[in-house]
Amino acid sequence: MIRFNNDYSAGAHPAVMEKLLKINSGRYPGYGEDPLSYEAADLIRKACAAPDADVHFLTGGTQANALMVTTALRPWQSAVCADSGHINAHEAGSVEHGGHRITALPSKDGKITAAQVEETALGFENNLFRDHVTEPKMVYISSPNELGCLYSRLELSDLSRVCREHGLYLFLDGARLAYGLGASDCDFTLADIAALTDVFYIGGTKCGTLFGEALVITNDELKYGFRNAMKQFGAMLAKGWLIGTQFGALFEGGVYEELGREADRKADRIRAEFAALGITPCAPGNTNQIFYYLDSRLADALSDRFVLEIMEKTADGKVMARICTSWYTSDEDVDALIAAVRNYS
Those residues with Cβ within 8 angstroms of residue 189's Cβ, 6 or more apart along the chain or in another chain: 181
- Restricted to residues 43-62, the positions that interact with a second copy (CB under 8 A) are 59-62
Minimum Å distance from CB 128 to a second copy?
A: 7
**Minimum CB distance to a second copy smaller for 132 or for 316:** 132
Query: Which string of DSSP letters, residue by residue, matches 158-215?
Result: HHHHHHHHHT-EEEEEETTHHHHHTSTT----HHHHHHH-SEEEEE-TTTTSSS-EEE
91 binds a second copy (CB under 8 A): yes
- Restricted to residues 133-152, the positions that interact with a second copy (CB under 8 A) are 133-135
**Minimum CB distance to a second copy smaller for 229 or for 283:** 229
Q: How far apart are CA 195 and CA 172, in angstroms?
A: 12
Which of residues 44, 55, 71, 292 is near a second copy by CB under 8 A? 71
Tell me the CA distances in angstroms from 27 to 20, 30, 215, 242, one per residue in order: 13, 9, 25, 11
CA geometry: angle 150, 81, 244, nearest 5 deg: 65
Show the binding pattern over residues 215-234: x = contacts a second copy (CB under 8 A), - = does not: ----------x-xxxxxxxx
Q: How far apart are CA 331 and CA 324, in angstroms?
A: 13
Residues contacting a second copy: total by CB under 8 A: 78
- Restricted to residues 237-276, the positions that interact with a second copy (CB under 8 A) are 237-239, 242
* Helix intervals (H) in 218-288: 226-232, 241-252, 255-276
Which of residues 42, 113, 152, 211 is near a second copy by CB under 8 A? 211
315 binds a second copy (CB under 8 A): no
Minimum Å distance from CB 302 to a second copy?
A: 16
Which of residues 35, 76, 122, 221 is near a second copy by CB under 8 A? 76
Show the binding pattern over residues 92-131: x = contacts a second copy (CB under 8 A), - = does not: xxx-xxxxxxx-------------------------xxxx
Sign of the dihedral defined by the CA atoms of residues 45, 78, 95, 157, in that order: negative
